[in-house]
Amino acid sequence: MKVGDEYVLNGHKCFITSGGLAGMYTVFATMDRSLGAKGITCFLVERERAGVSVGKDEDKMGLRLSNTADVIFDDVHIPVANRIGEEGEGFKIAMKSLDRSRGVNSYGCLGIAERAIEEAVAYAKQRVTFGRPIIKNQGLQWMLADMQIQCTAARALLYRCAEMIDKTGRYDTQLGSITKTFVSDMCMKVTTDAVQIFGGYGYSREYPIEKLMRDAKIFQIFEGTNQIQRMVIGSQLQR
C-alpha cells in the first residue's frame, strides 16, 4: 500500500535465485488485488533496507551450487524513486523481461546436453561387452545420433534468438517460448538417454551423468513451465 510518499511492502517470495546473495531485488507487488494483473507495480528494493530478510536456503535436487532462498518483506518502506515504471505497469514489465530472457537463457541447457553427449560417447567407446565397445552396437549408435540431432537443432534455435536480438533488438514472444521449451525438453531427453547408455553407472554418483540429469530438470520449470510456454505459443497462434 502507499502511505504518503512511500510504499509499504509486506509479504514473501520463495524460490528466488541468488536470493541469499543479492544486494538488490526487483520486486513485483500488488497494490490492489481486485485489479488482478493491472494492480501489480514494480520496485527496486535494497537488501539492507529495514524489514528485508532472507529465509531458508532450498535444498534442491539439481543446480545445487546456485543459491535459492525465500525473501521476506516486513513493513518495508520504499520511496517513490524506487518504483520502476508507473503504478499498475508491473505485469507488463515482467512479461517484457521474460520475453527477453526465455530464449537466450536456455544456453545452460545446451551446455548440459553437450557435456552429456561427450560423456556418453567417451563411455561408449571404452565400455566393452562381448568383446567390443558398446558404441559398435547399432541401437546405441542411433541413440547417440538422436541426441546429437536434437542438440544441434536446439543450438540453431538459440543462435537464432541471439542473432535477432543482436541485429534488430527485437524479442519475439513466440520464438522465445518455442526455444525455451524445445531446448529444455531436449536437455532432459538427452541427459536421460545418457544415463541409459551408462547403465548402472549412470545411476551412480561415481560418474557425472546423474548430476547432469538432475541439473537439466529445472529448466523445464523455471521462467514459466513448459506447459505455460505451450499456452503462450497457442495464444500467439490465435492472434
Exposure letters 40-75 (e unless 16+ CB within 10 A, then b): bbbbebeeebeebebeeebebebbeeebbbbbbbee
C-alpha distances out from residue 175 to 103, 170, 171, 179, 236, Å: 7, 11, 8, 6, 10
Catalytic residue check, 223: yes
The C-alpha atoms of residue 98 and residue 116 are separated, in whole angstroms, by 28
Can you say whether the dihedral through the CA atoms of 111, 220, 216, 105 is positive or negative? positive
Kindly calculate the radius of gyration of the chain based on its CA atoms and give it in whole angstroms: 22
Q: Which of 128, 119, 131 is nearest to 196 (CA)?
A: 119
Angle between helix 173-198 and helix 107-126 axes, rounded to 10 deg: 20
Residue identified by cell 541469499 is 20
Angle between helix 173-198 and helix 138-168 axes, rounded to 10 deg: 150
Q: Which residue in 58, 119, 210, 223 is the catalytic one?
A: 223
Residue identified by cell 524506487 is 82
Rounded to the nearest 5 degrees, what angle is found at the Cα of 110, between the Cα atoms of 107 and 111? 90
Residues designated catalytic: 223
